[in-house]
Structure 1
Amino acid sequence: MTGVRSPQQRGDSSQDGESRKQRIDRELMELLNELRVALPGVQFLFAFLLVVPFQQQGTQLTDFQRDVYFVTLLAAAVATGLLIAPAAQHRVLFRQHDKEALLQRSNRSAFLGLTVLAVAIVGAVLLVTDVVFDLTLAWITAAVVGALLAWWWMAVPLWKRAHNEQDDPDD
């Protein structure tokens, strides 16, 4: 024998040889890595929105466009905060031996952050399309983008999750 022990011999509870602690550590690292993908996009959108009022046309916005801008700016700020929260909490709670609770909070924060990011993206599309083209096209375009994000970010994964309950719950 090569000295490799089975999961039962190591005291691991999972079938693939991964202990509960290892699974939590892996899931937390996967979540933090996923957020590294989302953060540059939301930060770029937020930076764009911060520049808009200082452009010459920024003072020529209609009341509707200013309202959309305000909602979009707030959504981008909240999404940024929610998507950065898991890394911040991980750093503050370092070595506190409560990674599972951190993982659960971080997962909720990431889900909410992506939801608010979708609102910010739709708002940005609505605002820019209204400024460049017209309000009717803006609403149609924003609705299509919103539906696409809702479908790919929420509906498909939730449907897949509901129909794969018999599979590994850790995936």
Structure 2
Amino acid sequence: MRKAEKRTKIALDESRTLMLGAQILLGFQFHGPFQNAFDALPHYAKVAYLGAIAAMVIVVGLLITPSAYHRIVERGDAGAAIDRLITQVAALTLLPFAVALALDLFVAGSAMQGLLTAGAMAGAGLIAAIGFWYGPNIFNRGRPEHDDEGESSKASTEAKIELVLTESRVVLPGAQALLGFQLAIVLTDGFAQLPGHAKLLHGAALGCIALATILLVTPAAYHRIVYAGAMVEAFYKIASRFVLAATVFLALGLSADIDVIVAKITGMPLAAGIAAGSAFIVLVGLWHIWPLSRRRARKVGRSE
């Protein structure tokens, strides 16, 4: 594997670290409102909880964006352009991640000791996260220059396959964790008290996340069973389609469950519908509409 391809793989592997933590935290946020003690939380804690969910949806949307962009725009090729995008997205993602973590600590503090403890826990969490995540960038003035071989690099078929399998692993662990939380929800007392249409909507969300998980597992199984692990171009194209299709169902599943969660917390179906619709637009916009527009713009630029 050449230097450009290795750098891109390392960048994607680093995104996997963020993604697993982000989707486990989002899964907890989806699960929390169905616990018996949630209704006893003060109003300000529930507002903070909604803020944490919104922040984590943004985090998940941003973290998957480079993989979708790499599939759609770069067609699996490695180089400085995709490396910069992954780096920029990571830097942008850490702020809403820190905010969501702080808000979740605020909710936990509210449940334990009240507003003063909640504020102290949230403040300490926010300062620690920003300090550790952004501090090195502030104080490190001697970062090496980019040493890739040009703006982009045509990757070999073997490298493309390794990168697309890495990108499926970026999303898969988090999707599986989220699926586990969604399955656990149906066994809670809070879920039993939901109206019938909300239960059906959660069932649809569960089905979408399950299908996304199946699609993300498929490339590895397909590669092993059909191609016996051979590095062929045909498999790379199929794997890319599976990964991109999985993101559509992931967006649908997340948006549907946001409708259920917001309606349960606020008791306002209209607000829940707006929140779910907004989440879907943001996720599909980041994962499909923006990359497709960038690919089209690139084609137009080359034809002129």
Range into which the TM-score falls when normalised by the shorter chain: 0.7 to 0.9
My pick for the range that moved more, 37-46 or 70-79, is 37-46
Q: Give the 5 Å matches for 1:11-90.
A: 23-90=156-223
Look up the SS of the partner of 1:105 in the other structure. helix
Scaled by the length of structure 2, the TM-score of the pair is 0.46
Look up the SS of the partner of 1:165 in the other structure. helix
2:161–2:231: 8 Å Cα contact kept in structure 1?
no
Give yes or no for the alignment of 1:117 onto 2:250: yes
CA distance in 1, matches of 2:265, 2:297: 43
Q: How many matched pairs?
A: 149
Aligned AA (2:199): R
Identity of aligned residues (%): 25
Look up the SS of the partner of 2:246 in the other structure. helix
CA distance in 2, matches of 1:89, 1:69: 30
My pick for the range that moved more, 87-96 or 152-161, is 87-96
| 1:104 alignment counterpart | 237
| 2:290 alignment counterpart | 156
Q: Which has the higher contact order (CA 8 A, sep 6+)?
A: 2
Look up the SS of the partner of 2:186 in the other structure. helix
Give yes or no for the alignment of 1:132 onto 2:265: yes
CA distance in 1, matches of 2:290, 2:191: 38
CA distance in 1, matches of 2:297, 2:212: 29
Map Cα deviations across residues 61-84 of structure 1 (whole Å, 9 max, x no partner). Answer: 111101101110110110000011
Map Cα deviations across residues 93-140 of structure 1 (whole Å, 9 max, x no partner). Answer: 354646222111111111111111110111121111111112111111
Give yes or no for the alignment of 1:144 onto 2:278: yes
Scaled by the length of structure 1, the TM-score of the pair is 0.80
CA, structure 1 residues 100+57, in 2 after alignment: closer, same or farther (shift >3 Å)? Answer: same
CA, structure 1 residues 31+52, in 2 after alignment: closer, same or farther (shift >3 Å)? Answer: same
1:79–1:116: 8 Å Cα contact kept in structure 2?
yes
| 2:117 alignment counterpart | none
Aligned AA (1:136): L
Look up the SS of the partner of 2:299 in the other structure. coil
Aligned AA (1:110): V
Aligned AA (2:285): W
Aligned AA (2:200): D
Aligned AA (2:157): I
1:39–1:80: 8 Å Cα contact kept in structure 2?
yes
CA distance in 1, matches of 2:173, 2:189: 26
CA, structure 1 residues 85+121, in 2 after alignment: closer, same or farther (shift >3 Å)? Answer: same
1:123–1:142: 8 Å Cα contact kept in structure 2?
yes
1:48 CA drift (Å) = 1.1
CA, structure 1 residues 39+97, in 2 after alignment: closer, same or farther (shift >3 Å)? Answer: closer
Q: Extract unaligned runs of 5+ from structure 2.
A: 1-148
